[in-house]
Structure 1
Amino acid sequence: MSLRYPHLFSPLKINSIMVSNRIIANPMSQIYEDKALGRPGVVIAGSVITQPGKSSWASPDEPYAFSKYQVEKTRQRVLRAHQGGAKASIEIGHAGQYARVAPGDYALGPVSFVREDGVEVRAMDEAMMDEAVNWYVQTAKDAQSIGFDMIFMHFGHGWLATEFLSPLFNKRTDEYGGSVENRMKFPLRILREVRKAVGPYFPIEMRVSANEWMPGGIEFEDVLTFVKAAQKYIDVVQVSCGLDIEHEANVYMATTNFSEHMPNVKYAKKIKENVDILVSVVGAIMNPDEAEKIIADGCADLVALGRPLAADPNWPIKALEGRPEDIVPCIRCLQCYHISTNRRNVGCSVNPRFANEDWVPRVLPKAETKKKILVIGAGPAGCKAALTAYERGHEVILLEQRDHIGGAIHYVAMERFKIDIKAYLEYLKAQIAKSTIDLRLNTTATPEMVKEIRPDAVIVAVGASPATPPIKGIDGKHVINFYAAIEQEEQIGQNVVIIGGGTIGAEIGLELSLLKKKNVTIVEMASELAAQGNMLYKIALRHKMEQAKTLHVMMETGCQEITEEGVRVKTKDGEEVFLPADTVIISTGVRANKAVAESFYGIVPQTYMIGDCEKPRKIQEATLEGYTVASTL
């Protein structure tokens, strides 16, 4: 078999076990069966705690996974991970000072303090350290005895081991603080005792944060020193970055669209040059071409995938078969991350099944009766509906009034910080091209046309249009909407005022200032920029905006009038300010094309509105609606 990605799919010996490829399915939740069936080399089957009542980042009541009434369920993790031929690993962690503890109880850490939530954190003494080490040892032995092929020691992202390693957390003045040699004593003790317990031939992987992205965080040279000392006890080091609970650094652990692809490879390469063990790397490795190059160039021995496998669990299979265009790309929206969404609306923007595994089937069944399905509008909702109906075996006609598919994401994909959206748009184009969907571009649907087509069902996905607020002078020649600003960037003048600081307005302003060096002022009536974005998106946006020296933001400020020379605004204090502008960009949101959508009702009994024409929102909702409506026809 001729492989398109020969390095990615070359076998590898990890201590005593052989893996068939270089892909590690990293843990994101306790649901990993889809990833296992996608055939990576290793599946990390969720996480387990080490010290009941003291180590959980989820709940003080989280049970020990190997206790009498949990062990059978934990054994099932091994079996499920093995389904696709992968080796089964398990993440072993201790939340340290961040642990969820019972009321009145205390958490453990390198130093004593009281957390913001009122929980006491006690500096660990020798007895506490011994107890924690014993729990690590017991957990590792139990994982080995129950059938896991290897273990994954989480020593990154701000958890217990990191708290001792990093001067950000470790302010001790005894033998466990100060120099890196002191700070790594306790983490090395854990590794040494675990290795003794499981023997020399049981594979151990350890994760580290190469850069914590926080002032006062651990220096990379100290991380390298620690890994060099730890290599005698482990077989693989996984290179990550950032912190978990510290949200300012979380956006470098789970990167957004404002970060480069493969940000941790430079650290992995340096570590690999200095150690004699295997190196794996995680972080925005988005496609097989990137993964192949990492291994081919000798930067790492394995690639670890988290969110890319949430977007498409069959990523490894499709790469193995040389079908990268069929991989559903992650768009790095972070909707899949509970911290980002505050546990509200957790899901994947491009994979309806993620977080909905209990009711969205892995394989969509064929329809018992073939129908003619008409989809009006080829934005993300319409495309997903059309592809889902096609997958069900229906005859599908997809009408689009423009000369391209994509709807709003056609424009968004042109932005510099939206390369992942562009990849998703290309994916949709490729899937429609491969299908028998009857795509009719430059076709404006009418009720009369629908009657002539005589479909069994109509799915209306006509989207939304840019909102035009009642501002004096808005019809000026130098005033454009955000679509025009994206599509005709070369016509934008040097001095720019953007009316509206939602996600689109904010990103247009960022790009024009940071990359085009234009003088940009964003005028926003609300008290928050990019209010539609999730928490981590907003943090990452702010970090990027801080780099744009010619970008200015005026919050709680209303636009009073647009003139040929600029924009007159009023601040929350009632002060009137005039902003000179060569170009004024209107980015005050969109309005659903409800009237158009509703005009298609009454022709056939089965008529549905999906996506932005129902209510403007995220790609996640559009994709899910397109899927769910079409999957039941």
Structure 2
Amino acid sequence: MKYPLLFSPLVINGMMTKNRIVATPTGEHFEDKALGGAGIVIAGHAIVEPGRSSYASGDEPDAFAKYEVEETRRRILRVHQGGAKASIEIFHGGEHARVKDFARGPDAKVRADGVEVRAMTAADMDEVLAHYARTVRNARDVGFDMVFMHFGHGWLPAQFLSPRTNHRTDEHGGSLENRARFPLRILETVREAVGPDFPVDMRISAVEFMDGSIEFSDVLQFIRWAEQYLDAVQISAGVDIGIQGNVHMATTNFEPHHPNAAWAAQVREAVSIPVAVVGAVMNPDEAERLIADGAVDMVALGRPLIADPDWPRKAQEGRGGDITPCIRCLQCYHISTERRHVGCSVNPRFWNEEIVPRRLEPAVRPRRLVVVGGGPAGITGALTAARRGHEVILLERSDALGGQLRWIAQERYKEDIAAYLAYLERQVEASSIDVRLGVDATPDVIKELAPDALMIAVGASEVELPIPGVDGAHVLTGNEAVEREHELGDEVVILGAGQIGTEIGLELATFSDRHVTLVDPGDTYARRGNTLYREGLRQKLDAASTRMEFRWGTACQRIEADHVVVRDADGELSTIPADHVIVAVGMKPRKVEAQAFYGVVAETVTVGDCNAPRIIQDAVFEAHSYAMNL
């Protein structure tokens, strides 16, 4: 077996789990994760106090109420289908809960949305403890194999622990011993409610990444105190409410892989219960290494199991190369997308479970499909069609597949995109697809191939600027700048502060001594990026601010040999030194090129950026869903 430690069993307070993989409660659709081979599946959450603990709605029902409990029990059945152990997150939102009247918390305050937060009295604490006892006892009695206490990410127990949110002056505030008093009572109450032989797990944030937050040394001490009530602990970071910390709870591509592992390793040295780490453990090699190095006993996977719920099964079978890698785009996270356009860039089934099946159906009538364009849309459509038994011919005008991914993957902060591109290349190599590179597809070429269906995925091209000097030898497109980074001089001007321009500028300023000036007629960078992507980007931009400058409300008038001339919002002209100029003002769809193919084949469809430049998620969904139904 390639990953012997990852797939070794583990006993947690008498409960045997078949491997060391925990599926976190990321998203409410957890059945795929169970069938995919995870050892423990946290099957969603149960709120502790109906009306005052939900992060979604004051109307969220008690999971164990009369008309809810049978559906809650079915969560267990779904998990047990795959031989996994079923856990459930026990949750109280505290001062951040969605409520109808008032919220509870360590401090009295009025939230930004006008909701009153009442400082919990001794009586309030007793009442909440009773809710905790009832909830975990119900979870045990209905058949869950264990419970998962959420003590991280800034929710109620963490609100008492952290000096950022706890400013009390009584016996529950001030020193760590005082701040830990109520959270420890919760765990003591839970243990008494479920008994000594029922597994209790806990998640906690090692660091909150917010001003005035709890120190890791205090978190570590709290875990030592809490160990007597626990059977396992999961180490996370960040907070859910507070974007600066949120982006460290669910990391972007700007952060390294498994960033919480060092903290988890320190916890493991300090306690005798199993320790898990959550956060950007991206592939089985990383997971196995963390266990082998003694950093952790288990790995908890969130987004990697959204990208590919079969991650465990494929790893166990030695097919790690077939795992669809998460690219950490954060489209799956409702906070990041502001509850619009939620989905997964690389797994079109996520959030679309009712229309995208878990397994593809063989084609009833195999057909010949020609795909024009080898970017993520074209590759996805070709792979899906080939897997269903269609004859697929993929035409790509360049000498390599990947489309725009080929340039993105070369950037230093894009190792996850590089992994995704390598995955796509492996899948194509192992498929029955007839790949023809260096082919300039035309309607006549398509006619000669005589397909039954035609998928056009010719993508988009970089927008050109009609300004004097743009054809100078020192003027590059964004893609050219990525390929020729070593040629760039000390002073670089980038025209355009969208995602492409800003990321190129960040890389130049971070990994070299170059000074970068970005010129843009707007007022913000990467304006089309989702919320948490932009926050992750901001934190990196702040760190590179001494070597980066933004000129907002400014447009380039002309490009000279050693400078550019710009006009600001007041109409004033000025010059900016420039050894090289990078034009990165956006992408335009190849609509005319795509539309020229219509009329050749009756069944013709366009997918991806040739419809409109968008994100990978759209391209992959369009191509997969069409080929799925061909």
Q: TM exceeds 0.5?
A: yes
SS at match of 1:328: coil
TM-score, normalised relative to structure 1: 0.99
Mapped to 1, the partners of 2:586 and 2:322 lie a distance apart of 32
Give the structure 2 partner of residue 87 of structure 1.
85
Provide the secondary structure at the position in 2 that maps to 1:542. helix
Identity %: 56
| Residue in 2 that maps onto 1:76 | 74
Alpha-carbon distance in 2 for matches of 1:471, 1:129: 68
1:428 is matched with which residue?
424
- Bigger CA drift: 469-478 or 350-359? 469-478
Structure-2 separation of matches of 1:492 and 1:321: 46
Q: CA RMSD in A?
A: 0.7
Deviation, 1:278, is 0.9
Write the deviation string for residues 476-499 of structure 1: whole angstroms up to 9, x where unpaired.
111010000011111111110000
In the alignment, the residues of structure 1 paired with residue 277 and residue 214 of structure 2 have an alpha-carbon distance, to the nearest angstrom, of 18
Q: Which amino acid aligns with 1:516?
A: S
In 2: Cα distance, 1:289 partner to 1:417 partner: 20
Partner AA of 2:151 in structure 1? F
Equivalent residue runs for 1:246-395 within 5 Å:
246-395=242-391
Aligned partner of 1:212 among 208, 215, 238: 208
1:124 partnered with 2:120: yes
Q: Please give the alpha-carbon distance, in whole angstroms, between the structure 1 residues aligned to 2:460 and 2:27.
A: 35
> 2:41 matched to 1:43?
yes
Residues 391-470 of structure 1 aligned to structure 2 (within 5 Å): 391-470=387-466
Q: Which residue, 220, 223, 237 being the options, matches 1:227?
A: 223
Residues in 1 aligned to 2:393 and 2:246: alpha-carbon distance in whole angstroms: 43
Counterpart in the other structure of 2:241: 245
Aligned length: 629
Is 1:554–2:551 an aligned residue pair? yes
Partner of 1:187: 183
Letter in 1 for 2:78: R
What's the secondary structure of 2:168's corresponding residue?
Answer: coil
Of 97, 102, 112, the match for 1:99: 97
Match of 2:600 in 1: 603
Using the TM superposition, give the Cα deviation of residue 577 of structure 1 relative to its aligned residue in structure 2, in angstroms: 2.3
What is the deviation of 1:575? 3.0
Amino acid in the other structure paired with 1:29? G
1:617 alignment partner, SS class: coil
State the one-letter code of the partner of 1:118: G
User: Whole-Å Cα distance in 1 between the matches of residues 127 and 463 of structure 2?
Assistant: 61
* Superposition deviation, residue 472 in structure 1: 1.7
Offset at 1:178?
0.6
> Once the 2 structures are TM-superposed, how far is the Cα of residue 511 of structure 1 from its aligned partner?
0.2
Q: CA deviation at 1:572?
A: 2.1
Q: Distance in 1 between matches of 2:362 and 2:16?
A: 38
Distance 1:45 1:159 in 2: 19
Counterpart residue type for residue 271 of structure 1: V
Amino acid at match of 2:194: V
Pick aligned residue for 1:174 from 163, 170, 177: 170
Choose which of 570, 577, 581 in structure 1 pairs with 2:567.
570
Residue 66 of structure 1: which of 44, 64, 67 is its match? 64
The whole-number CA distance in structure 2 between the counterparts of 1:242 and 1:569 is 41
Q: What amino acid is aligned across from residue 611 of structure 2 in structure 1?
A: E
> Is 1:199–2:195 an aligned residue pair?
yes
- Residues 383-437 of structure 1, C-alpha deviations (whole Å, 9 max, x = no match): 0000010011000000001111000011000000000000000000000000010
The amino acid that maps onto 2:531 is M
Unaligned runs of 5+ in 2: none
Counterpart of 1:592 in structure 2 is 589
Q: Say which SS state the counterpart of residue 81 (structure 2) adopts.
A: helix
Aligned partners of 2:553 and 2:123: how far apart in 1? Answer: 55
Matched, 1:475 2:471: yes
Residues 427-456 of structure 1 show CA distances to partners (whole Å, capped at 9, x for unaligned) of 000000000100011111111110100000
Q: Distance in 2 between matches of 1:459 and 1:490?
A: 38
Is 1:630 equivalent to 2:615 in the alignment? no
Cα deviation for residue 54 of structure 1 reads 0.7
State how far apart, in whole Å, the 1-side matches of 2:10 and 2:80 are.
Answer: 17
Alignment-derived partner of residue 31 in structure 1: 29
Inter-partner Cα distance in structure 1 for 2:159 and 2:501: 39
What is the distance in 2 between the residues matched to 1:443 and 1:432?
17
Whole-angstrom CA distance in 1 between matches of 2:264 and 2:421: 31
Letter matched to residue 380 of structure 2: K
Aligned to 2:104: 108
Alpha-carbon distance in 2 for matches of 1:330, 1:58? 26
**Structure 2 equivalent of residue 56 of structure 1:** 54
Residue 573 of structure 1: CA displacement?
A: 3.2
CA distance in 2, matches of 1:471, 1:59: 53
Cα distance in 2 between the residues matched to 1:377 and 1:566:
38
1:164 aligns with 2:150: no
Runs of 4+ with >4 A deviation: none
Query: 2:495: which partner in 1?
Result: 499
Deviations 1:258-294 (A, max 9, x none): 0000000000000100111110100000000000001
Question: Partners in 1 of 2:553 and 2:85 — Cα distance?
Answer: 55
Q: Distance in 2 between matches of 1:31 and 1:522?
A: 42
Q: Which one-letter code corresponds to 2:14 in the other structure?
A: S
- Which amino acid counterpart does residue 457 of structure 2 have in structure 1? A
Measured in 2, the distance between the counterparts of 1:88 and 1:28 equals: 14
Deviations 1:158-202 (A, max 9, x none): 000000000000000111001111100000000001101111110
| 1:512 CA drift (Å) | 0.3
Question: Which residue among 137, 142, 145 is the counterpart of 1:149?
Answer: 145
Question: 1: CA distance between counterparts of 2:226 and 2:419?
Answer: 39
Alignment deviations for residues 575-623 of structure 1 (CA, whole Å, 9 cap, x no partner):
3221100000000001111111111111110011111111110000000
Counterpart of 1:608, as a letter, is V
Letter in 1 for 2:572: E
